[in-house]
């Protein structure tokens, strides 16, 4: 028997509502995820597909504010033992001030941050400021990246790197093929300091995809599939605990 798979499980803060998102986080943790990614909803989530867009819109209608988001993150961090990453879009950090946003992440007990539209070299100081606070900022890299930019991103020496398995937005199923494997190994090769923990995501919905990826990545990110799981109603805790159990089972 092999070990259970390592999964970063995604949820949207305040989706389906505040209490529901807290239950979702606990369900994901109790189901056996290794990390939690809590997305702070933004009005214009350009990197997300329809499922997460709809969830973000609903979360904003449910009254999400950044201040309340950090209170929720603190409650999640107190309730689970796995590391929690806050994911959002540039404008929520920029408006608050990147430094202040990261201070609040840190105070809430988050382990790191993921901001896809603040890539290395257009990051408004995100990577340096996160490092100064002991927070793990996770660059999001994609297969279309140039070798030069890949080397520059690798040289940031971050603990984790988020690798999107394909172009496009979150949601539609990705295939794990030779090109995917080449991309993941190119990230490993670009890193000359310590090995990066590569988290592979975008369009992962099944146990088979998780299995196919785990020998090439440190962990696998599951997002839209989990949002879809609770879109139809029902108790997020029970639904997500069951879904993660199925995805991680040895």
Partner 1 sequence: MKRFNDFFGQFGGRYVAEMLRAPLDELEAAFLDALDDASFRDLLALTLRDFAGRPTPLLFAENATRELGGARIYIKLEGLAHTGAHKINNAIGQALLAKRMGKTRIIAETGAGQHGVATAAVCARLGIPCRVYMGAVDMRRQKPNVFWMERYGAEVVAVTGGSATLKDAVNEALRDWAGSFRDTHYLLGSALGPSPYPDMVREFQSVIGKELCGQIEEKGLECAALVACVGGGSNAIGFFSPFLESETPELIGVEAGGRGTGVGEHAARMNGRGQPGIVQGYKSLFLTDADGQVLSTHSVSAGLDYPGIGPQLAHLGTMGRVRFLTASDAEALEAVKFFARMEGMIFALESAHAAAAVMRIARDYPAESSLVVNMSGRGDKDLFILARAMDAEPWAEFLREEAAQ
Residue 39 interacting with partner 1 (CB under 8 A)? no
What is the torsional sign of CA 16, 19, 24, 25? positive
Alpha carbon distance 140, 162 (integer Å)? 5
Question: DSSP state, 234?
Answer: S
Please select the residue that binds partner 1; options are 103, 142, 186, 197, rule is CB under 8 A.
142
H or E element: which one contains 199?
Answer: strand 197-201
Please select the residue that binds partner 1; options are 80, 99, 168, 238, rule is CB under 8 A.
168
Q: Of 30, 44, 48, 214, which is the active-site residue?
A: 48
How far apart are CB 92 and partner 1 at their closest, in Å?
5
Q: Please give the structure tokens belonging to residue 195.
A: 């090995």
Residue 103 interacting with partner 1 (CB under 8 A)? no
Residue 167 interacting with partner 1 (CB under 8 A)? yes
Q: Of 17, 30, 37, 123, which is the active-site residue?
A: 37
How far apart are CB 56 and partner 1 at their closest, in Å?
10
Q: Who's near 222: CB < 8 A, 6+ residues apart?
A: 7, 8, 9, 10, 201, 204, 205, 210, 247
Residue 49 interacting with partner 1 (CB under 8 A)? yes
H or E element: which one contains 36?
Answer: strand 35-39
Give the nearer residue to partner 1 in terms of CB position, either 12 or 140. Answer: 140
Q: Please give the structure tokens belonging to residue 111.
A: 């382990």
Residue 36's DSSP bridge partners are 9, 84
Q: Who's near 9: CB < 8 A, 6+ residues apart?
A: 28, 31, 33, 35, 36, 37, 222, 226, 240, 244
Residue 118 interacting with partner 1 (CB under 8 A)? yes
Residue 149 interacting with partner 1 (CB under 8 A)? yes
Residue 203 interacting with partner 1 (CB under 8 A)? no
Please select the residue that binds partner 1; options are 44, 134, 178, 250, rule is CB under 8 A.
44
Annotated catalytic residue 37: yes
**Residue 43 burial by Cβ neighbours in a 10 Å radius (0-12, 13-18, 19+):** exposed
Please select the residue that binds partner 1; options are 17, 75, 103, 124, rule is CB under 8 A.
124
Residue 94 interacting with partner 1 (CB under 8 A)? yes
Binding mask 64-93 for partner 1 (x = CB under 8 A): -xx-----------------------xxx-
Q: Please give the structure tokens belonging to residue 58.
A: 């609903």
Residue 99 interacting with partner 1 (CB under 8 A)? no
- For partner 1, the binding residues (CB under 8 A) are 42-50, 53-54, 57, 60, 65-66, 90-92, 94-96, 116-119, 122, 124, 139-146, 149, 153, 164, 166-169
> Which residues are known to be catalytic?
37, 48
């Amino acid at each position: 028997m092999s070990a259970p798979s390592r999964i970063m499980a995604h949820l949207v803060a305040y989706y389906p509502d505040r209490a529901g998102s807290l239950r979702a986080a606990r369900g994901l943790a109790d189901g056996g995820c290794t990390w939690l990614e809590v997305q702070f909803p933004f009005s214009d989530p350009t990197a997300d597909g329809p499922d997460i867009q709809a969830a973000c819109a609903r979360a904003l209608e449910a009254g999400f504010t950044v201040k309340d988001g950090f209170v929720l993150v603190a409650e999640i961090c107190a309730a689970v033992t796995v590391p929690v990453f806050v994911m959002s879009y540039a404008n929520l950090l920029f408006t608050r001030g990147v430094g202040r946003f990261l201070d609040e992440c840190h105070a809430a007990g988050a382990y790191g941050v993921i901001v896809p539209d603040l890539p290395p070299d257009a990051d408004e100081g995100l990577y340096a400021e996160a490092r100064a606070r002991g927070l793990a900022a996770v660059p999001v890299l994609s297969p279309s990246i140039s070798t030069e930019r890949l080397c520059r991103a690798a040289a940031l020496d971050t603990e984790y790197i988020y690798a999107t398995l394909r172009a496009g937005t979150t949601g539609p199923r990705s295939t794990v093929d030779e090109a995917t494997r080449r991309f993941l190994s190119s990230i490993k090769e670009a890193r000359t300091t310590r090995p990066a923990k590569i988290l592979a995501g975008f369009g992962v919905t099944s146990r088979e995809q998780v299995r196919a990826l785990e020998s090439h990545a440190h962990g696998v990110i599951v997002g839209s599939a989990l949002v879809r799981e609770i879109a139809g109603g029902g108790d997020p805790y029970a639904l997500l605990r069951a879904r993660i159990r199925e995805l991680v089972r040895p």
